[in-house]
């Protein structure tokens, strides 16, 4: 699969037509999707929209997939829940509106866990998404369908969003590049009142430059999202042309609390120290508090409050592993919810020193390799028992701190499964994270290692 930036050049130059490209993607969906279950709804007007696209627009008809919790006018948006099985929005999300204005063709909607509540892509409506590298393994989540679609070579770009790791985890498991931008960098409207204050919109791509290119088109303030940030005035695509020099990078294999698969740690450590080419890499001892309980508390209380009067109806059709949420919600009070802010400050206090001294922090993206379909979590890592979300300890801290954080392929396990490395930047330094990511891509490209499906 070519870079999106190169495909757009060909579309704009008339070398290929948007209609041909959309038809080629639809043919791949017909052939590949039954194996991986990435797409759940197709845009029936995609070919017609490609026919009417402006070839001089910034995207000139580039096909893009949209995660099924991002509203698309006239195209079913189910949140992968039976409660929304037949919901067809009357307006586009800001992200979709901006992509369409730039000349994108929306190809369809991608699979996710119900309401995006867990990092394992399966739900009662559509079933699980399978990892293109090994069909017996999960893609993670919650932007799992988007990751599978790009990893399988169906198309070069798909949207994702991230409230606790939902772009970075599937990027890691599927050998892709995924950036969770700074909170508010891309407006998020409309959205459900879940992952409040943690949620960022972004993309899954094979190439860093494609992520930079897409973000340039969709970032900047929108009055409908009161948390959206003004444009930072930086072209990310231009910024990544400049090679970083004399940077200071901290590497933490565990943030002070994580249990990590030894092979994952070894692959990421080796990758992190390759960045010494651009400055200094130093292993640091961190003693950050784990906010695992706070994440669970927040999500459970928010989803149960959001479902509200439909709770009885939802209990009959919810993804079975979610049924424990209801009981947990009964045991929690507003005190636990309010205490989250206090723990968030403790987390930042533990991390602040790193970002005062270093430009970036590197960790593994996920503590384990992709695990079997049918389980929402591995039982153990390297023989040590873990909690239900103990396998994803590295991503959600940076949703709580609102920092930009990316997952980039660091290498592969002995079985040929992708391993991701997380790069976290200072507040608002999305351009810096993209720049160091592109530098790593230049010295350690991964794009030739893709499965044939």
Rounded Cα–Cα distance for residues 281 and 267 (Å): 15
- The 3-state DSSP class for residue 329 equals helix
Length of the chain: 453
Which residue among 166, 172, 228, 407 is the active-site one?
166
Whether residue 112 has a cis bond before it, omega within 30° of 0: no
Residues sharing a CB contact under 8 Å with residue 174, sequence separation 6 or more, in sequence order? 131, 132, 133, 139, 140, 147, 148, 150, 151, 204, 418
Q: How far apart are CA 183 and CA 189, in angstroms?
A: 13
* Pair type for strands 177-180 and 384-385: unpaired
Pull the structure tokens for residue 12. Answer: 């704009």
Is residue 153's pLDDT more than 90?
A: yes
Answer whether residue 326 shows pLDDT above 90: no
Q: Is the pLDDT of residue 325 over 90?
A: no
Q: What angle do CA 17, 23, 24 make, to 5 degrees?
A: 90
Cβ pair 204, 175 in contact under 8 A? no
Amino acid 141: pLDDT: 98
Say whether 142 is catalytic: yes
Residue 82 DSSP symbol: G
Its pTM stands at 0.98
User: Encoding tokens for residue 15?
Assistant: 């070398």
Distance, in Å, from the CA atom of 175 to the CA atom of 427, rounded to the nearest integer, reads 26
- Give residue-wise pLDDT tens across range 201-238: 999 999 999 999 999 999 999 999 999 999 999 999 99
Positive/negative CA dihedral, 111, 117, 118, 124: negative
1 vs 32: which has the higher pLDDT: 32
pLDDT of 327 > 90? The answer is no
Reference 221, options 237, 232, 212; nearest CA is: 232
pLDDT digits (tens, 9 = 90+) for 247-282: 999 999 999 999 999 999 999 999 999 999 999 999
d(CA 215, CA 96): 12
Give pLDDT tens digits for 54-68: 999 999 999 999 999
| Rounded Cα distance, 373 and 420, in Å | 19
pLDDT at 78: 98
Greatest CA separation for the chain = 61
Average pLDDT over residues 73-93: 98
Render the burial of 80-115: b for 16+ CB within 10 Å, e for the rest.
bbbbbeeeebeebbbbbbbbbebbbbbbbbbbbbbb
67 a catalytic residue? yes
| b/e per residue 280-305 (b: at least 16 CB within 10 A) | ebeebebebbbbbebbbbbbbbbbbe
Please compute, for residue 324, the number of CA atoms within 13 A of its CA located in the half-sphere on the CB side.
Answer: 6
Q: Are 11 and 50 in contact (CB under 8 A)?
A: no
- Closest to 118 measured CA to CA, from 313, 321, 276, 304: 321
Q: Which of 3, 67, 100, 344 is catalytic?
A: 67
The pLDDT of 115-119, averaged and rounded, is 98
Interval 391-401 mean pLDDT:
98
Which residue is catalytic, options 57, 81, 100, 142?
142
- Determine whether 290 is an active site residue: no
Does position 147 have pLDDT exceeding 90, yes or no?
yes
């Amino acid at each position: 699969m070519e870079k999106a930036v190169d495909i757009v050049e060909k579309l704009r130059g008339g070398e290929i037509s948007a209609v041909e490209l959309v038809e080629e993607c639809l043919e791949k969906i017909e052939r590949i999707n039954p194996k991986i279950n990435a797409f759940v709804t197709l845009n029936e007007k995609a070919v017609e929209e490609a026919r009417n696209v402006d070839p001089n627009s910034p995207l000139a008809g580039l096909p893009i997939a949209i995660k099924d919790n991002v509203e698309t006018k006239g195209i079913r948006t189910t949140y992968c829940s039976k409660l929304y099985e037949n919901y067809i929005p009357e307006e586009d999300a800001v992200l979709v509106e901006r992509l369409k204005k730039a000349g994108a063709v929306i190809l369809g909607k991608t699979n996710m866990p119900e309401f995006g509540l867990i990092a394992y892509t399966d739900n009662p409506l559509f079933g699980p998404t399978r990892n293109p590298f090994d069909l017996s393994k999960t893609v993670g989540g919650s932007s799992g369908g988007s990751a599978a679609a790009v990893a399988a070579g169906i198309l070069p770009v798909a949207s994702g969003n991230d409230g606790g790791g939902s772009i970075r985890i599937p990027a890691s498991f599927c050998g892709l590049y995924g950036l969770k931008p700074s909170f508010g960098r891309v407006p998020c409207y409309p959205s459900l009142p879940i992952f409040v204050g943690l949620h960022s919109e972004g993309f899954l791509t094979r190439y860093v430059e494609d992520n930079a290119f897409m973000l340039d088109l969709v970032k900047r303030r929108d009055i409908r999202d009161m948390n959206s940030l003004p444009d930072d005035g930086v072209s990310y695509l231009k910024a990544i042309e400049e090679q970083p020099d004399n940077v200071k990078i901290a590497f933490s294999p565990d943030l002070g609390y994580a249990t990590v698969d030894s092979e994952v740690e070894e692959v990421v450590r080796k990758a992190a120290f390759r960045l010494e080419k651009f400055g200094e890499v130093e292993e640091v001892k961190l003693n950050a508090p784990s906010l695992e309980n706070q994440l669970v508390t927040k999500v459970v209380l928010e989803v149960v409050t959001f479902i509200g009067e439909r709770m009885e109806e939802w209990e009959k059709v919810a993804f079975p592993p979610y049924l424990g949420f209801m009981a947990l919600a009964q045991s929690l009070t507003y005190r636990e919810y309010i205490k989250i802010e206090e723990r968030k400050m403790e987390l930042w206090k533990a991390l602040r020193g790193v970002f005062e001294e270093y430009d970036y922090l590197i960790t593994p993206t996920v503590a384990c390799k992709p695990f079997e379909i049918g389980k929402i979590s591995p039982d153990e890592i390297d023989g040590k028992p873990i909690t239900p979300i103990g396998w994803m300890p590295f991503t959600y801290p940076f949703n709580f701190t609102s920092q930009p954080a990316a997952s980039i392929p660091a290498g592969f396990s002995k079985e040929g499964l992708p391993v991701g490395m997380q790069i976290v930047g200072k507040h608002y330094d999305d351009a810096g994270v993209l720049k160091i990511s592109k530098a790593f891509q230049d010295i350690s490209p991964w794009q030739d290692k893709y499965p044939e499906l």
